[in-house]
Structure formats: structure tokens, C-alpha cells
């Protein structure tokens, strides 16, 4: 028989019944099983209270990864861009804030343009870039109007 996962409400109720030391034990045990769980706990415990610093750290890490792309073939550029994008998406998922989503996706696309990667040589790269532009527009629509206006010029500069 396969163990059926409990609903979020059931988990929340059960966590409310536990002592703080038991909750700590559950969190530590959860962190041992998957790297993503540990990364999410790290974000929640150490990064969530300074969202701007978190965004800057992710941008710096993304920029460092783009430096390595300069002299690769189109095949390796595709693979590397997907790897970087997976990392960016994971960081966006941890935060869950539309402003963070928008800032990190804009930075990712700016890095592609600054690196002067051969996007036009591959339909896959064009589609990847266009998909990010769609996600940027979606994230922008979730922000308040004054914040939307603040990002508008950066978004306009990303058009191919």
C-alpha cells in the first residue's frame, strides 16, 4: 500500500499540535531528504526578511554563470541557459513575490542580450527568450500600477 500524502490543511493542523522542539525536528528531517527543501528552508530562515539582498545575490550568481558562456557552441549555450534558467526559476519559486519574479527574469534576459549570445541561430533559444518575455509581462501585470511603470523601460529594452 502506498502512503497517501496529507493535505496542506491537515499538515497545518498537525503542526499546530506539536511542541516547538518537535516542529524543529520535523523541519531538520525534511531538510535532509532533498536539496530543494534545504534551499527553501534557508530562504525562509535567512533571506526572506531581506528580499532586496536576496534578489541581488541571485543576480550576482546569475551574472557569474553567464560569464562562462562566452565561447561555447550553440549546443552548449542552450544547455547552459536551461541550467541557469532552472536555477532562476527555483529562486523565484522560493520567494513567490511578483516583484522578485519580474526583477530576476528581467536580469536573466538582460544577461542574454549583454552576452551577445547567438540566439538567432537556434529556434530553441528564440523560443526560450520569447517565453521569458511572456512571463515578464505576466509578472508585471501582477504588480501595482506605479511599480509596473518603474519596470516598463527595462522591459522595452529587452525586445528582440
pLDDT tens digit at each of 160 positions of the chain = 677 888 889 888 888 988 999 989 988 888 888 889 899 888 988 998 999 999 999 999 999 999 887 677 888 888 999 999 999 999 999 998 999 999 999 999 999 988 888 788 889 999 999 999 999 999 998 888 888 888 888 888 888 6
Residue spans per domain, the chain: 1-33, 35-156
**How high is the pLDDT of residue 1?**
63
**How high is the pLDDT of residue 126?**
92
**How high is the pLDDT of residue 107?**
96
Region of 7 on the Ramachandran plot (φ > 0 left; ψ -120 to 50 alpha; else beta): beta
Distance separating alpha carbons of residues 38 and 30, to the nearest angstrom: 8
Please answer whether residues 119 and 126 qualify as being in contact, where contact means their C-beta atoms are separated by less than 8 angstroms.
yes
**How high is the pLDDT of residue 111?**
93
Distance separating alpha carbons of residues 47 and 56, to the nearest angstrom: 11
34 CA to centre of own chain: 17
Please answer whether residues 160 and 131 qualify as being in contact, where contact means their C-beta atoms are separated by less than 8 angstroms.
no
**How high is the pLDDT of residue 88?**
96
Amino acid at each position: 500500500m502506498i502512503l497517501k500524502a496529507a493535505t496542506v490543511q491537515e499538515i497545518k493542523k498537525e503542526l499546530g499540535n506539536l511542541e516547538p522542539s518537535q516542529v524543529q525536528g520535523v523541519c531538520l528531517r525534511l531538510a535532509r531528504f532533498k536539496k530543494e527543501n534545504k534551499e527553501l528552508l534557508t530562504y525562509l530562515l535567512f533571506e526572506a526578511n531581506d528580499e532586496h539582498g536576496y534578489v541581488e545575490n541571485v543576480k550576482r550568481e546569475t551574472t557569474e554563470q553567464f560569464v562562462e558562456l562566452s565561447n561555447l557552441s550553440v549546443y552548449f549555450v542552450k544547455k547552459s541557459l536551461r541550467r541557469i534558467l532552472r536555477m532562476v526559476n527555483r529562486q523565484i519559486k522560493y520567494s513567490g513575490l511578483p516583484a522578485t519574479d519580474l526583477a530576476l527574469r528581467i536580469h536573466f534576459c538582460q544577461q542574454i542580450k549583454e552576452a551577445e549570445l547567438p540566439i538567432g541561430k537556434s529556434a530553441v533559444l528564440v523560443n526560450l527568450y520569447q517565453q521569458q518575455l511572456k512571463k515578464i509581462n505576466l509578472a508585471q501585470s501582477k504588480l501595482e500600477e506605479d511599480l509596473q511603470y518603474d519596470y516598463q523601460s527595462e522591459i522595452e529594452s529587452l525586445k528582440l
